[in-house]
Amino acid sequence: MNDQKVAVITGSSSGIGLESALVLARNGYITYATMRSPEKDISIKEAVQNGSLPIRVVQLDVTDDTSVKNAIDHIISEAGRIDVLVNNAGYSLGGALEDLSMEEIKSQYETNLFGLIRVTQAVLPTMRKQRSGRILNISSGAGIFGFPVHSAYVSTKFAVEGLSESIAYELEPFGIKVILIEPGFVRTNFIHAMVVAKKAQDPASPYSELMQKLMANASELAKNASDADFVANIILDAASNPSPRLRYLTGKDVESWAAGKKNMDEFEFFNMIKRLIA
């Protein structure tokens, strides 16, 4: 088993996490597909049974210290190494800032940022000992520019960007590469699984019209979204490339928005984003 590279993916029950587990396993990685509630998920188990893939399903809740420690200890005990970590677990909290409770904001950060930190810290001693490893953090186009009624989500992704760029310097001397994957819209259940803040669901909210416009336009934007397997193949390339980049813009939409952010002045870019929800 030690001759094969080992990948660990968080949030593997659906979407990018699920597709990444399948793609990495098909390409020779012993893949630990971790998720909060494995007993509720059957899709990856069916894929494993049907494809005879080297995937192990492990319970891991990124918001729980004990769960993370137990899962990583189990993987290291069984596999002896960890070569690739894909920090994918996350969700989007919808609602204007005024409509978000502090508890809702804290929960968003607990999963999207602190969960990523928690798992990364658990994996790093093993990667340092190996003097090799890849840490792929699933960011977003929302880690590059702001977007209305998603301020909590966007701010977690901005934090992931800064965190990743900073630790890239710290970890390079140990042979560990840090990589940011920045998807645009992806055809997953992410939008449908978005948590809408309690106050944001109230038609009396002063931001109700804005929220409705964004939800309607998000469905329209999703029609031109990338497939999850497209993102998964970018992840495979970043995991296996001898000289990976720090950032991978993933999708024509996010490439276009990032180019606008770079080439437009702030007024022009602000108006471009406003048009997306007009």
Active-site residues, by number, are 153
Q: Per residue in 142-157, is it b (16+ CB within 10 Å) or e — as a string?
A: bbbbebbbbbbbbbbb
Half-sphere exposure of 166 (CA within 13 A, CB side): 7
Phi and psi (nearest 5°) for 9? -125, 130
Contact 224, 253 (CB under 8 A): yes
Would strands 55-59 and 30-35 be described as parallel, antiparallel, or unpaired? Answer: parallel
CA 142 to chain centre: 11
Element (H, E) at 235: helix 228-240
Q: Per residue in 62-82, is it b (16+ CB within 10 Å) or e — as a string?
A: bebeebbebbbeebbeebebb
CA distance 156 to 113: 6
CB atoms within 10 A of CB 266: 8
CA distance 175 to 159: 23
Name every residue whose Cβ is closer than 8 Å to that of residue 202 and which is 6 or more positions away in sequence: 99, 208
Rg value, the chain, Cα = 19
